Structure 1
């Protein structure tokens, strides 16, 4: 009997992961677990490029619109959720597709993640408020001064990672580095890691087109509907922060759109940097004709 196998489809935002993963899942007559840290929220649809209703009808998806923005999710909670779903799916099929661009979630599922200390909500909100009012430079200076060991290895342009490290530091008085053992967990299934990528100019053009389409589809209205939730961690993300600033009068709509495009390009670069650190990934263009090449990896 074939060994239970998870095929990971990773890559930067807007590269075409959704269509590719659906085609791959249909090839194996299986289901998809999303590894996207924002598409899981019911209240967020347009700005997170959630798969369309037609796409969701083609193949069963998990961790899509499954939680509320009021829930505090992280890589550890995703690990538990996804492993539970995988165990149930493996009772009836031998292959599962895991797709997404959140590198830490994919790592947590494939090899485990170190347990992090509980952070009181008041501490978390204090860090979020500091970032919202003082910006990324404040976050960077705080960590550079208070946690130089972490700062040396940090994703220094990634506000989510920096806020998480500052939360842990403020809550415990200890660096987040002290909680990282990097001990890999053994999983009862095989993992095949694949990544999708495009030439930079082509990827940037896709990003720009997607942002323009999101705005045409009503992204500003979606953000207005979430104003009462804006302090929650789920909303501290590209495509929402900039439009909150627009609503507050800090940016014009045109400035907000340009900032979303710039920040999304930067995010895509960070995603690629994360995935390319893992030499187990095999890379493909997101052409659906490459689905057969990815499927063939399972025979090796």
Structure 2
């Protein structure tokens, strides 16, 4: 059976580097499931692989969209599986990498058959958002599904709206709605997670944000102000700097908020992965050697 090696872990932990080295070892290609790196205008704030890294191994689903494009997780699942199957015609191994938990889940397990948005629910929730603020949506979701609330991007109103709508329509928690594997894939999945002490993860995140600032994140965000209401830009690194440009926050404060919100995202990733039972964990300081040893023990060879 063909093998899909999925490299996961928190933001800033070294997934890109490990994925490239494993792909080179097996002479294969990389599928990105980092939903923020799909957008070509958001290179710096999403830590998109550098031109040098992209030249080392063929990558798919990086910089393939514009922030003006609508793109759903359902579209990604369909297109990613199509590309993986195409690659499997010539290769025995393909590498998947990214920290977008639901997007990885869509590839390895399939998407649940969730109902379309309910117009009445959406209108009601939009009204709550505009009149009472995002905190009211957060409270509703925490009350209705405390488990999903621990891992959802709490600052993304679209995610909150969608989850609450599904709960109201189905009478089940969002966690229950997405808990079962939907599709039996025609390939074997080996999940490799990179782990590190939490203080190391947080230190690396802080360093990454400083590097983004040095590379020109402020100018990148400024160029995207005309598109600031697009869903793709309701995300860490962009939302905070828009508030700087609105003169609500100083630049120093906005940068600290980016670091804080990135750390919060890493915490949600850890919560998500902690529930998973099929992840092979490797140490961040020796991730390549441990991964190749693990794959060798599983009889997966170039």
Q: TM-score, normalised by structure 2?
A: 0.87
Segment drifting more, 42-51 vs 113-122: 113-122
Match of 1:46 in 2: 44
Q: Distance in 2 between matches of 1:212 and 1:133?
A: 36
Change (3 A) 1:229 1:151: same
> Could you say which residue in structure 1 is the equivalent of 2:5?
7
DSSP-derived class of the 2:82 partner: helix
Among candidates 68, 80, 85, match of residue 82 of structure 1: 80
Query: Does 1:34 find its partner at 2:32?
Result: yes
Secondary structure (helix, strand or coil) at the match of 2:193 reads strand
- Any gaps of 5 or more consecutive residues in structure 2? none
Name the SS of the counterpart of 2:189 in structure 1.
strand
Equivalent residues of 1:39, 1:48 under 8 A apart: yes
- Residue number among 204, 207, 212 corresponding to 1:206 in the alignment: 204
CA contact (8 A) 1:23 1:291 kept: no
| 4+ residue segments displaced more than 6 Å | 120-130
Structure 2 matches for 1:257-296, cutoff 5 A? Answer: 257-286=255-284, 287=286, 288-296=288-296
Counterpart contact for 2:194–2:281, Cα < 8 Å: yes
String of CA shifts for 1:115-167, please: whole Å, max 9, x gaps: 333348998799689769965423212435xxx43345433662267633424
Return the match for 1:174 from 165, 169, 172: 169
Partner of 2:149: 154
**Does the CA-based 8 Å contact 2:42-2:220 persist in structure 1?**
yes
Identify which of 223, 229, 233 aligns with 1:225: 223
State the Cα distance separating 1:68 from its structure 2 match: 1.7
Structure 1 residues 15-72: Cα deviation after superposition (integer angstroms, max 9, x where no partner):
0000110000000000000110100111110000000000000000011011122233
Distance 1:87 1:121 in 2: 36
CA contact (8 A) 2:138 2:160 kept: no
Q: How many residues align?
A: 295
Give me the CA root mean square deviation: 2.8
Aligned-pair distance for 1:81? Answer: 1.4
